[in-house]
Amino acid sequence: MTIQLLAFYFFAFFAVLGALLVITLRNPVHAVLSLVLTFFSVACIWMLMQAEFLALVLIVVYVGAVMVLFLFVVMMLDIKVAAAREGFIRHLPVGIGVALIMLAEMVTLIGLRAMQVAPPPNPAAMHGESNVAWIGTALYTQYLLPFEVAAMILTVGIVAAVALTLRHRVGVRHQNASQQVAAVARDRVRLVSMPAERGDPGAQP
Amino acid sequence: MSWNDVLTMLPELYLTGAICVLLLFDAFAGTRYRSAMHWLSMLALLVTALLVVSAQRAIPATAFSGMYVDDTLAQILKLFSILSVALVFVFSEPYLRMRKMAVGEFHTLTLFALLGIMLLVSAGNLVMIYLGLELLTLSSYALVALDRDSPRATEAAMKYFVLGALASGLLLYGMSMLYGATGTLSLPGIAATLPVTPHQSLAVFGLVFVIAGIAFKFGAAPFHMWLPDVYEGSPSAVTLFVASAPKLAAVGMALRLLDVGLHPLLPYWQDMLAVLAVASLVIGSLVAIVQSNLKRMLAYSTIGHMGFLFLGLSAGTSFGNAAAVFYAIAYVLMSTAAFGVILALARAGFEADRIDDLRGLNQRSPWFAGLMALAMFSLGGVPPLFGFWAKLLVLQSAIGAHMLWLAIVGAFAAIISLFYYLRVVKVMYFDKPAEDSALLVSSDASLRWVLSLNALALLALGVFQGPLLDWCLRGFGG
Amino acid sequence: MLAQLLLVLWTLAKVLAITLPLVIAVAMFVYWERKVIGWMHVRMGPNQVGPLGLLQAFADVVKLLIKEIVVPTNANRFLFFLAPMLALVPALAAWAVIPFSDGLVLSNINAGVLYLLAMTSMGVYGIILAGWASNSRYALLGAMRSAAQMVSYELAMGLALVCVLVLAGSLNLSRIVEAQGGGLLHWFWLPLLPMAVIYFVSGTAETNRAPFDVAEGESEIVAGFHVEYSGSAFALFFLAEYANMILVAFLASILFFGGWLSPFPSTWGPIGQGSFFWLLTKAFLLAFLFLWFRASFPRYRYDQIMRLGWKVFIPIALVWVLVAGLLKYFHIVTPGA
């Protein structure tokens, strides 16, 4: 048993454990954290498969950004835990049924066969490149168009978010930074030279 | 990437650039130039259409390492999508202005959706199918929710979004299985690998999910649950869009996936599509009868029409495919006409979306009652209108593929559905207008003219359906 | 099996060889900070414990360790204690890929820059959870501010990193240093000057340091996310913050200032050769900037922080990615030997 195999079982255990906790924990914040644990463990498994780009991007994007925002929302919302869990037991048999069917599918269609055939060679290693460089080359040559279309989808996301949430409220005082920076002393203060006046101290009453 | 790639997909690139310019214009020009957004969008559509037409070529061209395919099928679908989006803009402009919804995002998001449609119908790769679809649906979710203070629109958008995300997940899951079975994402590559792959059972399994994803996007039963709610809940202008161009995209997607990529699995998907077709025909024609909301009724009628469309697709022949494309075009033009009348009658505070709202339309405006009747007759498949020929062709193709029972179900569904279309006509012509009703047709000149043209086209294309059919057949080498 | 066990032990020894000096460096850096700020305020700074007050930091550590940890009422105990660890572990783990000198690196992985991004982006969990688990309004507000700030500035920081790796053509930190070979003018600070500034300022914001320390903002929300922490739990947050500061200083030296390379020509004998000494000097000078900032600038307002991140840094960084691409494409900047 090599260290890699041990590490795989270690991470796989935590991935499955985290996934189970996501649906069984009562506290939504704990559930989100379990999801983070699952993502992290899966990233580690990918790392073991030498897919370092996918592993690290999973952490940067999902663990580092998406789940943080998700955690934000969960913390801000006052989720009624009891209400959310209503029907959990009732729907459990259906859920287990679906899960079993999916498992059976995967085992029969993919699992058993995958155990018999050797895994395909690592394309990056065949080209003598690192995984990141290989993905980068593929992304910017063969998959250039999908890459750019994905950018358009993200643009739609921004436009939609702005269109659905931006409200111009009246009476809000915004700081206009460029106006502030553009201010010159000459426009604000005028220095006038005038002769010093010397009043007669004795004239005061 | 070469210069040639860029030239091949010039229409899409132009549209992308135009959208970006419009976005900036909308952000910086201020509210005074809102109506300019409308005309600039129309200009962008016109130029895109011209670019599509100018790219007419005898043999299909591919670009970006097979990601993008430009052929006659893509051109037909693109041209009619552009046309329908133009109709959407014209019909919805007065509606949006009256409802203070005249935000520039309506135009940019609709154009983004159009871009998604154009990419989708030109896809040569599973990745492009998925991305084009996401571009289309993401824009649609946002459009449905655009009337953000309306709880019904928000609810509709949420339903659409959740179910749509689920469907995308199913589609992606199926695609991953196809990739696992064939080792390629390219659609022609999949078609070439499928007969020789040892993992055919895996591919068939993936096919099930792919079909489910396609059926959802069509709104075919039993994946139709979102459709009535979205049609009813969204602002009529958005309903008009959702009911038009995306159906062309769905046909394009189905043809790319099933005809180009998965044709070797024809025996499997033929039966699945037949089942979907029967379910949609039954649900579409029966449930629509009891609806009192016009938009909801049209939603169920859409489900029924999708059943007819699947009749053509399930034949799996080039004639069946051409019939499906013809049907989609017919459906889009009919639904723009029907929703156009709703939009023409809608005013601030009055949606004109109940069937009763149309009571006595004939007395108020015989011309528009006539147009609506034309649309309804065409939807019902009354000869010699456009809808009749569309129905005839798909039934013929089903018979041609030895699926006589399917054709019989279709014929029965057509007869049942005629009932509720005629009910609308009856309400318009034979019912007295309500005392307090103030049915007024919009005074917007372009709306009135274009709507008339749209409805009359149903008649014209019904009488002279030959050239369009030939064009559709040419898309499949016929 | 034995060989593998030895490998594990050897790696552990290397990890200790990095973390122990790091912890001591943090202690000395805290002392240095108090001294420098003292001088800038025309004060003496710590001068009582040990010669020149040098043992002050250690005295503070001992004080913190023997203090009681107070857990607030209704706090989520598990997360309350997990949070400081979640803050510290990524701060330490990031050091695994830092090349201290040519070949002197714990793990010379290909995707080093990505690994760094991954690790620094996870530090935010410690802060959010600390704020939430404390069951305190101030702590939650501080956590929210800090998390939003870290997520925002990560983008500008990431884009600055993109510029570096476009020019270096590699994600490996050792390769990046080697690509800057050839003297002072070949270091990336020159072609990427705006990025170097953005990177360092974003690093300041990422570590929640002044003038971006609204997360602690003692005048408004007492001490932000760690207001409820005391004793050794607080010490862990403290350690994480300073370890992150030193990390940002090291990274800036590696990415923009030639890492272990010498600023002098290699013909100048020993001082012309690259060594750990040079990296340490550069990092020390950059870390000094943190203290300088703190003593010089008033705190930014929250909306100003967001404006700077989203409306100034990100657009500049986006443009500079293009510039970096052009510099590379036209061979204006070529990776050095």
Helix ranges (DSSP H) in C207-275: 218-221, 231-256
State yes or no: pLDDT of B461 exceeds 80: yes
Measure CB to CB from residue C118 to each of A27, A59, A132 and give the nearest one.
A59
Among the listed residues B458, B441, B474, the one whose alpha carbon sits nearest the alpha carbon of residue B72: B474
CA distance to partner chain A, nearest, from residue C122 (Å):
5
State yes or no: pLDDT of B418 exceeds 70: yes
The pLDDT, as a whole number, for residue B438 is 64
Report the distance separating Cα C255 and Cα C157, nearest Å. Answer: 12
A105 phi, psi to nearest 5 deg: -55, -55
Interface of C with A in 234-253 (CB under 8 A): none
Among the listed residues C88, C82, C94, C202, the one whose alpha carbon sits nearest the alpha carbon of residue C131: C82
- Could you tell me what percent of chain B has a pLDDT over 90? 28
Beta bridge partners of B389: none
* Cβ-based contacts of B105 with chain A (< 8 Å): 159-160, 162-163
ipTM value for the complex: 0.88
Mutate to test the interface with C, among A1, A72, A76, A175 (most CBs of C within 10 A): A72
pLDDT band at B342 (very low <50, low <70, confident <90, very high): confident
* Cβ-based contacts of B205 with chain A (< 8 Å): 105, 109
- Which three-class secondary structure state does DSSP give residue B63? strand
CA distance to partner chain B, nearest, from residue A29 (Å):
22
* Cβ-based contacts of A113 with chain B (< 8 Å): 199
Q: Using the beta-carbon criterion (under 8 Å), do C151 and A69 form an inter-chain contact?
A: yes
Q: Could you read off the pLDDT tens digit of each residue along chain A, which spans 205 residues?
A: 577 888 889 999 999 999 988 888 877 888 888 998 999 999 989 888 878 888 888 888 888 888 888 888 887 776 666 666 666 677 778 888 888 888 887 777 766 666 666 666 776 677 777 778 888 888 888 899 999 999 999 999 999 988 888 777 777 777 777 788 888 888 888 888 888 877 776 665 5
The pLDDT, as a whole number, for residue A202 is 66
Q: B: neighbours with 3+ CB pairs under 8 Å?
A: A
Interface of B with A in 68-127 (CB under 8 A): 68, 103, 105, 108-109, 112, 115, 119, 125, 127
**Residue matched to tokens 């300073």:** C242
Measure CB to CB from residue A110 to each of B16, B105, B180 and give the nearest one.
B180
- Which three-class secondary structure state does DSSP give residue B448? helix
Domains by residue range for chain A, with CATH? 1-81 (1.20.120.1200)
Burial class (CB in 10 A: 0-12, 13-18, 19+), A99: exposed
Q: Using the beta-carbon criterion (under 8 Å), do A141 and B148 form an inter-chain contact?
A: no
Q: Could you read off the pLDDT tens digit of each residue along chain C, which spans 337 residues?
A: 788 788 888 888 988 888 888 888 888 898 889 889 999 888 888 888 878 888 888 888 888 888 888 888 777 788 888 888 888 898 888 888 888 887 777 777 778 888 888 888 888 888 888 888 888 888 888 888 888 888 888 888 889 988 888 888 888 888 888 888 777 777 888 888 888 999 999 988 888 887 888 777 777 777 777 878 888 888 888 888 889 999 999 999 988 888 888 777 777 777 777 788 888 888 999 989 988 988 888 888 888 888 888 888 999 999 999 998 898 888 877 776 5
Q: C: neighbours with 3+ CB pairs under 8 Å?
A: A
Among the listed residues B250, B188, B137, B123, the one whose alpha carbon sits nearest the alpha carbon of residue A146: B123
Closest Cα in chain C to A60: C118
pLDDT tens digits for B50-92? Answer: 998 887 777 788 888 888 888 888 999 999 999 999 999 999 8
Report the distance separating Cα B261 and Cα B123, nearest Å. Answer: 11
Closest Cα in chain A to B149: A164
Report the distance separating Cα B138 and Cα B132, nearest Å. Answer: 10
Please answer whether residues B226 and B159 qualify as being in contact, where contact means their C-beta atoms are separated by less than 8 angstroms: yes
Among the listed residues B153, B146, B51, the one whose alpha carbon sits nearest the alpha carbon of residue B100: B146
Measure CB to CB from residue B142 to each of A110, A152, A163 and give the nearest one.
A163
Please list, residue by residue across B380-414, b when 16 or more beta carbons sit within 10 angstroms of its beta carbon and e when fewer do. bbbeebbbbbbbbbbbbbbbebebeebbebbeebb
The pLDDT, as a whole number, for residue A3 is 77
* Cβ-based contacts of A3 with chain C (< 8 Å): 4, 7-8
Measure CB to CB from residue A56 to each of C111, C151, C303 and give the nearest one.
C111
Q: Using the beta-carbon criterion (under 8 Å), do A163 and B115 form an inter-chain contact?
A: no
Q: Is B135 on the interface with A (CB under 8 A)?
A: yes
Please answer whether residues B205 and A105 qualify as being in contact, where contact means their C-beta atoms are separated by less than 8 angstroms: yes
Report the distance separating Cα A120 and Cα B167, nearest Å. Answer: 30
The pLDDT, as a whole number, for residue A111 is 67
- Which three-class secondary structure state does DSSP give residue B69? strand
Distance (Å) of CA C276 to CA B388, B442, C21, C270: 83, 79, 14, 12
Q: Using the beta-carbon criterion (under 8 Å), do C128 and A36 form an inter-chain contact?
A: no
Report the distance separating Cα B93 and Cα B87, nearest Å. Answer: 10
Q: Using the beta-carbon criterion (under 8 Å), do C4 and A60 form an inter-chain contact?
A: no
CA distance to partner chain C, nearest, from residue A59 (Å):
6
Please answer whether residues A132 and C114 qualify as being in contact, where contact means their C-beta atoms are separated by less than 8 angstroms: yes
**Higher-confidence residue: C60 or B440?**
C60
Report the distance separating Cα A159 and Cα A140, nearest Å. Answer: 25
* Cβ-based contacts of B108 with chain A (< 8 Å): 159
- Note the Cα C129 to chain centre separation in Å: 20
pLDDT tens digits for B304-334? Answer: 999 999 988 888 888 889 999 999 999 999 9
Classify residue B464 by its DSSP letter.
T
Report the distance separating Cα B71 and Cα B62, nearest Å. Answer: 9
Among the listed residues C150, C87, C101, the one whose alpha carbon sits nearest the alpha carbon of residue C253: C101
The pLDDT, as a whole number, for residue B133 is 93
Interface of B with A in 36-75 (CB under 8 A): 63-65, 67-68
Q: Using the beta-carbon criterion (under 8 Å), do A56 and C144 form an inter-chain contact?
A: no
Q: Using the beta-carbon criterion (under 8 Å), do C111 and A2 form an inter-chain contact?
A: no
Please answer whether residues A43 and A18 qualify as being in contact, where contact means their C-beta atoms are separated by less than 8 angstroms: no
- Which three-class secondary structure state does DSSP give residue C224? helix
Interface of B with A in 285-314 (CB under 8 A): none
Please answer whether residues B465 and B384 qualify as being in contact, where contact means their C-beta atoms are separated by less than 8 angstroms: no
pTM of the model: 0.87
Measure CB to CB from residue A71 to each of C109, C118, C128 and give the nearest one.
C128
